[in-house]
Chain A
Amino acid sequence: MKLPTNVLNIDLARRQYRVEDRADLFQYYIGGTGVAINLLRENCPKGADPLGPDNPIIFAVGPLVGLYPLASKTVAMFKSPLTGNLGESHAGGRSAVSIRLAGYGAIMIRGASESPLYLSIKDTGVEFKDASGIWGIVSSVTTGRVVRELETGAGTRTIMRIGGAGENLVRYAMVTTETYRHFGRLGLGAVFGSKKLKAIAICGEMGLEVESRKEYRKAYDDIYHRAVESPLMRKYHDIGTSANIMPLNLLKGLPTRNLTSVSSPDAINISGEHLAEEYLGRRVSCAHCPVACIHIAGLREPYENEPYFYKTTMIAYDYELLYSLGSMLGVFDEKGLLRLIDSVELWGLDAMSTGVVLAWATEAMEKGLITEAETLGLNLKWGDSDTYSKAVEQIVKQRNEFYANIARGVEYASKIYGGEDFALAFGGNEMPGYHTGPVTHVGFLTGARHSHLDAAGYSIDQAALKDKLPDPKEAAARLLKEEVWRQILSSLVVCFFARNIYDRDTILKTLETAGHKVAPERFDRLGLEILREKNQFKLEHGFNPNALRIPKRILEIDSPHGKVQESYLKEAVEEFYRLLASE
């Protein structure tokens, strides 16, 4: 068997599983996102409750995983409890390699368990293991430690798990894998929680045949050398994604204090350069990736009241966290920020959504829409990271109505308390860290996941600073083209950071060595087809592109391209969906 075509189908309610060969899907859609959207459409009925047993969880990998460097990602698909629509989230760590080398192209989890359990998956099958003793361990890190001891396969396994946020169904709870990688966005952690699924350990180390050994090694060496020699990879290795803080601050495109501002003189404190110099303790990598973009700070702090007694906490940071829990909350003291990042990580929340929710709450408090009666005595103030850490705990525990409401996201909360104008969510998903101009916002609105990674509109904005801004129609066309292309990358599944290495010819060649020959004409249509399938799913589940809410705040604050015009956004959105339907 050369291609991953096996779908491991797990029923949590009956505690049964079976393996199905879905060569039909994998032949046509390659793998990853292309296969996952089809499995989702087959298995998630219209009107399914995202937190009910009908919502399937799908993990899919592709034919390049286990063969080539940087083919290191797993696509998770589900119906999102945050947006009530398409949920898709990608993560690396060892997840992709372990799934494929355990013999699976995709894993689908259906139903819900009555009592807490975790899954142990190997090439020999699935074990359903009792997790009543682990349920209630609120830290995702501790959960990982416990499962690590219970399971074999150190070195070639992935351990996905949830913390307290997932158990308590916070709609933007995440699933953590290998401590520092996350299926972060859109609430997969809550879907785990709703199924009483605390963790999944997957171990795999089988061999993979290739079409031609010689060609395989040749193609491998070509990709390897391009990866280790590329300047982009160097950037991700040296400073990491947090290298973006200073340029965005300089451009005045770094959302600050709930986007009441776009830069801060204190941004240097939370910059990748500063963190690397003062705190960087280790870099780690996803399995089969030479880049090692994951940057981990060592924060050494004394215990209070005990002389010469210190603890060192290892905390991973990335641009997205420095934005959402840093600049967005006015937290520019890096130690406080690292502690806040650590608490969000332990509880198992999506950092971006958490930061944006807290930013909205802070402004709502300033404006008197909410008071300490709602926040249970917490006075949320820009920059006060300790109070924010306490609020994070409250969001997870949901001891009153207010916290239960903000645990459902900023869109939901602002409908109840007001302040929708400054509730920064697009399609129900909290905003990523770019106020670079109109195109990034069009991308947030039109992206299938309402994420900055759907089509990277920020890079169109940034490139246009040297040139001129594309008109709305052209912006729509370029965003669509990029999002279409990314469907291919995420069907293989390669890391988006390697997008310059995996060009069209490289992909066709590597697929061929993997035993998956695709006709170039069909290959060129596939991305659009996949994106249309996603859009179809969204429409079936109630998405209305004409009803997309544009938060007023993004129109009020100057971007590097000046004020963002609502007419520009509307015209581009309309054009995007016209093109998507017609092309």
Chain B
Amino acid sequence: MARLVVMDADRCVGCQLCMFACNRRFGEGGLEKAALKVKSTGGFERGFVVVVCRACPDPPCLKVCPVDALDYRKGGGVILNVNKCIGCGRCVDACPVNAVFWDKNANKPDICVHCGYCVSYCPYDVLAMKEVEPFEVAN
């Protein structure tokens, strides 16, 4: 199964359309539910990084969840069972790339489900859905 990969962050213009797209999965505007974040690497002059779930082969977020609300996703990544989640925030702290975000309103994590909705709204082909071998190095 394919998963979301960042193909070339140097092509990123920082428009954040991907973030708005991710949030729009739920039919709403704004950014509360966005599961990825584009930020500058220390000022716009230096370009951008796309912070998003990198589908760790052995996901630390999943391991620290006290109620097993996170499960392996086929093809990479994790799936959140919202009903089990108690909103403790340990997954946020555990993610080494800070790709687990927080929905303050729902008090639940925003974690990428690798659905690829954002890909069709990136005008500059920074993002793609790809099959990735577990140990193949993706950006």
Chain A residues within 8 Å of B, Cβ to Cβ: 66-69, 97, 100-101, 141, 144-145, 148, 154-156, 178-180, 205-210, 213-214, 216-217, 220, 224, 228, 282-290, 292, 296, 314, 514
Known: A179-B43, A220-B24, A282-B47. Is A207-B13 also a contact (CB below 8 A)?
no
Chain B neighbourhood of A285, CB < 8 A: 13-15
Closest CB-CB distance, B108 to chain A, in whole Å?
Answer: 13
Closest CB-CB distance, A132 to chain B, in whole Å?
Answer: 24
**A287 touching B28, Cβ below 8 Å:** no
**B23 touching A217, Cβ below 8 Å:** no
Does B37 reach chain A (CB closer than 8 Å)? Answer: yes
Q: For the complex, what is the distance from the CA of A213 to the CA of B27, rounded to whole Å? A: 5
Chain A neighbourhood of B46, CB < 8 A: 314
A–B complex contacts, Cβ < 8 Å, 16 sampled: A66-B29, A67-B30, A69-B17, A101-B30, A141-B43, A144-B43, A206-B105, A207-B29, A207-B33, A217-B24, A220-B24, A228-B123, A288-B20, A290-B15, A292-B123, A314-B46
Chain A neighbourhood of B13, CB < 8 A: 283-285, 292
- Taking a contact as CB atoms closer than 8 A, the residue among A148, A286, A314 that contacts B45 in the complex is A314
**A213 touching B28, Cβ below 8 Å:** yes
- Taking a contact as CB atoms closer than 8 A, the residue among A66, A213, A228, A284 that contacts B30 in the complex is A66
B contact patch SS? loop
Known: A282-B47, A284-B14. Is A155-B39 also a contact (CB below 8 A)?
yes
Chain A neighbourhood of B42, CB < 8 A: 145, 148
Q: For the complex, what is the distance from the CA of A284 to the CA of B44, rounded to whole Å? A: 7
Chain B neighbourhood of A514, CB < 8 A: 29
Taking A207-B105, A284-B13, A292-B13 as known contacts, 20 extra A-B pairs with beta carbons closer than 8 A to each other, sorted by chain A number, are A66-B30, A97-B16, A101-B31, A141-B43, A154-B40, A155-B40, A180-B44, A206-B30, A206-B31, A207-B29, A208-B29, A220-B24, A282-B47, A286-B15, A288-B15, A288-B16, A288-B17, A290-B123, A292-B124, A514-B29
**A67 touching B17, Cβ below 8 Å:** no
Q: From B47, which residue of chain A is reached at the shortest CB distance?
A: A282
Q: For the complex, what is the distance from the CA of A67 to the CA of B20, rounded to whole Å? A: 8
Q: From A179, which residue of chain B is reached at the shortest CB distance?
A: B44
Chain B neighbourhood of A141, CB < 8 A: 43
Q: For the complex, what is the distance from the CA of A101 to the CA of B16, rounded to whole Å? A: 14
Interface size on B, residues (CB 8 A): 33
Pairs A-B, 4 closest by C-beta atoms:
A213-B27, A207-B32, A155-B39, A208-B29
Residue among B13, B32, B37, B47 with most chain A CB within 10 A: B13
Chain B neighbourhood of A97, CB < 8 A: 16, 31
Closest CB-CB distance, B25 to chain A, in whole Å?
Answer: 10
Closest CB-CB distance, B136 to chain A, in whole Å?
Answer: 27
Chain B residues within 8 Å of A, Cβ to Cβ: 13-17, 20, 23-24, 26-34, 37-40, 42-47, 51, 104-105, 121, 123-124
**A207 touching B24, Cβ below 8 Å:** no
Chain A neighbourhood of B28, CB < 8 A: 207-210, 213, 216
Chain A neighbourhood of B24, CB < 8 A: 216-217, 220
Q: For the complex, what is the distance from the CA of A284 to the CA of B39, rounded to whole Å? A: 12
Q: From A292, which residue of chain B is reached at the shortest CB distance?
A: B13
Residue among B38, B42, B43 with most chain A CB within 10 A: B43
Q: From A2, which residue of chain B is reached at the shortest CB distance?
A: B29
Q: For the complex, what is the distance from the CA of A156 to the CA of B16, rounded to whole Å? A: 9
Q: For the complex, what is the distance from the CA of A575 to the CA of B42, rounded to whole Å? A: 51
Closest CB-CB distance, B120 to chain A, in whole Å?
Answer: 9
**A210 touching B29, Cβ below 8 Å:** yes
Chain B neighbourhood of A209, CB < 8 A: 28-29
**A290 touching B27, Cβ below 8 Å:** no
Q: For the complex, what is the distance from the CA of A284 to the CA of B38, rounded to whole Å? A: 12
Q: For the complex, what is the distance from the CA of A285 to the CA of B27, rounded to whole Å? A: 24
**B29 touching A67, Cβ below 8 Å:** yes
Q: From A123, which residue of chain B is reached at the shortest CB distance?
A: B104
**B15 touching A207, Cβ below 8 Å:** no
Closest CB-CB distance, A317 to chain B, in whole Å?
Answer: 13
Q: For the complex, what is the distance from the CA of A179 to the CA of B47, rounded to whole Å? A: 12
Closest CB-CB distance, A498 to chain B, in whole Å?
Answer: 13
- Taking a contact as CB atoms closer than 8 A, the residue among A67, A68, A100, A145 that contacts B43 in the complex is A145
**A205 touching B15, Cβ below 8 Å:** no
Q: For the complex, what is the distance from the CA of A213 to the CA of B130, rounded to whole Å? A: 29
**B47 touching A289, Cβ below 8 Å:** no
Q: From A212, which residue of chain B is reached at the shortest CB distance?
A: B27
Q: For the complex, what is the distance from the CA of A286 to the CA of B40, rounded to whole Å? A: 12
